[in-house]
Amino acid sequence: MVMKQRELKPETLAKAASMLKAIAHPVRISIIRFLEHGKKKTVTEIHTNLGIEQAMASHHLVILKDRGVLASKREGKNTWYFLKHESLSYLLKCISDCCEEE
Amino acid sequence: MVMKQRELKPETLAKAASMLKAIAHPVRISIIRFLEHGKKKTVTEIHTNLGIEQAMASHHLVILKDRGVLASKREGKNTWYFLKHESLSYLLKCISDCCEEE
DNA sequence: GTCAAATATAATAAAATCTGTATATAACGT
DNA sequence: ACGTTATATACAGATTTTATTATATTTGAC
């Protein structure tokens, strides 16, 4: 018995594309890697560590949050950002493996 | 002993981003899913099955091939396209899981 | 060579993204 | 209220994507 692949609904497809598009940027990949393994970081920690402007960091973080990649929690003056799905680590590993093998 | 995360070289980062960007499109995700499990399909099969114009299909296929997602092989009048890395199936599964759980 | 089928390319305009700079808002301590 | 720190937003020009349509190329059959 052959299993027919389950079709993705157009909305799921669009959501997946939009999420992938959010991830598909060098700086944002770096941000995600910086947050792997459940780490929570502030905007300042992120922009300092990755060597990008504060406004840039904030901007990219908003994109990642809007598309459902990150979540955040405000605490006083700080906003802590973290991965919403730890499985994204796996996704990045998969892509970098694909890249390296050529 | 804590393992420090290996940094990605800027070029690898750029390559990964560009590959992800290629994947991050509803039609192109559909194409990749259509080619999962080692299937090889012609442009006609792809554009017919997915219900898109021939030129569109060809266009998207070129993008996916240029960025290293697909490979192709010409045989007579037909060009057969197929996944270059079967592990991309896993990547798509990961993303759609992330999408559905909200 | 001519025709038809299969695929690829070109040209265009509209839409979305990116980067950098400037500015605004929020929260805290005094 | 004022100053400072942390974060978020707005704006604008440059670049990149996207969808559409039309056209070109390649290959095989005759």
Return the CATH number at A35. Answer: 1.10.10.10
Kindly state whether residue A80 falls inside one of the protein's structural domains.
Answer: yes
Q: What is the pLDDT of residues B14-31, one digit of tens each?
A: 999 999 999 999 999 999
CA dihedral angle for residue B7, residue B11, residue B13, residue B15, rounded to 10 degrees: -150
When CB atoms are compared, the residue of B13, B16, B96 closest to A16 is B96
Kindly state whether residue B88 falls inside one of the protein's structural domains.
Answer: yes
Domain of A42? Answer: 17-100
Kindly state whether residue A45 falls inside one of the protein's structural domains.
Answer: yes
Return positions of chain C under 7 A from a protein CB.
5-10, 17-23, 26-28
Contact A8 B29 (CB under 8 A): yes
Alpha-carbon distance B56 to B54, whole Å?
5
Positions 5-64 of B with beta carbon below 7 A from strand C are: 42-44, 54-55, 58-59, 61-62
- Number of structural domains, chain B? 1
Q: What is the pLDDT of residues A55-96, one digit of tens each?
A: 999 999 999 999 999 999 999 999 999 999 999 999 999 998
Kindly state whether residue A63 falls inside one of the protein's structural domains.
Answer: yes
Kindly state whether residue A8 falls inside one of the protein's structural domains.
Answer: no
CB under 8 Å to B15, separation ≥6 — which residues?
Answer: A99, B68
Query: pTM value?
Result: 0.89
Contact A20 B20 (CB under 8 A): yes
Kindly state whether residue B3 falls inside one of the protein's structural domains.
Answer: no
* B4 has a pLDDT exceeding 60: no
Kindly state whether residue A48 falls inside one of the protein's structural domains.
Answer: yes
CA angle B66, B72, B75 (to 5 degrees): 145
Kindly state whether residue B4 falls inside one of the protein's structural domains.
Answer: no
Percent of chain B with pLDDT over 90: 79
Closest residue in A to B36 (Cα) is A5
When CB atoms are compared, the residue of B14, B23, B36 closest to A26 is B14
Shortest distance, CA B52 to any CA of chain A (angstroms): 14
Order of strands, edge to edge, in the sheet holding A78-83?
A: A41-42, A78-83, A70-75
